[in-house]
Amino acid sequence: MYRFLTVSVLLALTGCNTVSSLHYVPPASVEVAAAPSVGAVTAVDQRKEDPKRLATIMGGFGNPLKTLDTTKPVKDEVADAFTEGLRVRGLLATGGQAPYRLTLVIRKFDADMIIGRTGRIDLTMAVVDPAGHTVYEDAATDSQSDMKFFEVGITADISDLQRLCEIVLNRTVNHMLDKPEFRHAVARLGTS
């Protein structure tokens, strides 16, 4: 019994860390563009987090019990999701051979659990021309929460927080890339 308590206390003080990648899932059907118009996606991380930290399960004293880090910086995971979203919509030029690029500024993208679980995202997307001028800009914020009353603290599953992050990321990518104003702007740019 003493060993169990010692191990439990050490786990509570040091926490457990999981490392994983995010997975983008497009909607069942997408409108495919007539021609690609975006050559690259870049992202800037303005979050107040470690570059790879995505989620934290907190203990009763505000101490991190479990954390989720991404295999590469979070900004690159987000850029990859947008890149894949563009690809499935026929908007991504192979080999970066289109003159326009998508830039992302990530202000918030994380999840935490104290009593309930919440995943949040807040970012800006811009289409930039070769001269560096922004020709289209949009911003999105989203969140997803759930409650699991019997899974708190050390018994909580960090994969639940990953799932919430993937939900808000997928919804954001799909909403922004399927917005008529964005599709009109990149269609116009692709023909100019």
Q: Is 50 among the domain residues?
A: yes
The residue segments making up the domain with residue 187 are 12-19+37-191
**Which residues on adjacent β-strands are paired with residue 123?**
106, 140
pLDDT at residue 190, rounded to an integer: 52
* Nearest Cα residue to 12 out of 58, 75, 78: 58
Domain assignment present for residue 142? The answer is: yes
The answer as to whether 166 is a domain residue is yes
Residue 28 lies in a domain: no
Buried b (16+ CB within 10 A) or exposed e, 54-68: bbbbbbeeeebbbbb
CATH of the domain at 124: 3.40.50.10610
pTM to 2 decimal places: 0.86
- 86 falls within a domain: yes
Split into its structural domains, the chain has a count of: 1
pLDDT at 150: 60
Residues in the chain predicted with pLDDT less than 70, given as ranges, are 1-15, 148-155, 188-192
At residue 6, the pLDDT reads 47
Structure tokens at 79: 């850029």
Structure confidence by residue, pLDDT tens digits, 104-121: 999 999 999 877 789 999
Q: Chain-centre distance of CA 13, in angstroms?
A: 28
Supply the pLDDT for residue 109: 98
Q: Tell me how long the chain is.
A: 192
Residue 55, domain member (yes or no): yes
